[in-house]
Structure 1
Amino acid sequence: MTACINLNGMKPAVLAELRRRVGRRARITVLGDQWALSSRTGVQQVFPDVEALVGALVGRRLVDRSASPEDCGAEHKRILEDMTHHGAPPTDAVALVRALLISADTM
């Protein structure tokens, strides 16, 4: 998914949306193709892709989700599948982050 985000030029928008959802609980940065999560105490963890980062955010309860998995049905799966097919129109960052969060929360 990180490659698709990069290919569609969505990294700044996805980063901004993830930061908005995390708020002051932690800091998210991008290091090349990797994503870094820093706690308020300064502990930093680097993730190889956005899915791993989102999994950590959900697992640590650092994010606010605007909808529960039950509210979205299969919509989040369609968004993620569309992003991975070359030539599919890019979705907006808010919808993509929401889909990633729901996907991580249902695993």
Structure 2
Amino acid sequence: MKTIFDSILLNRIQFESSSTEVQLDCCIYENGNAFESQIFVSMSAFNQLMCELSVRGIDLDMDENLDTIVISDSEVIYSMDLTANTDKPIFLPYYCLPEQNKLLRA
């Protein structure tokens, strides 16, 4: 897929109940290249991303679409596959992520 501007295609959101970070599995389109990557953001940065999506008219129903995997009594992994609805891929402009996260590569 070719994009006009540098952007990020979100594929999966995953986080653990005991963690303060959220893992974003995505495809990054930058300078005409595309590569798969995992980006780790803080819960605060994730909240900002959710607000950015909401402003763009993309509301992720966390109650309905969030899968849970119970590891133990105190540990749960939450995951949401964003590729299920291929009619509406979730692209974010590259500038939406904090600068320190743009340097991470898989």
TM-score normalised by the chain length of structure 1: 0.32
TM-score normalised by the chain length of structure 2: 0.32
- Structure ranking higher in strand proportion: 2
Higher RCO by CA contacts (8 Å cutoff, separation 6 or greater): 2
Q: Whose radius of gyration is greater, 1 or 2?
A: 2
- Structure ranking higher in helix proportion: 1
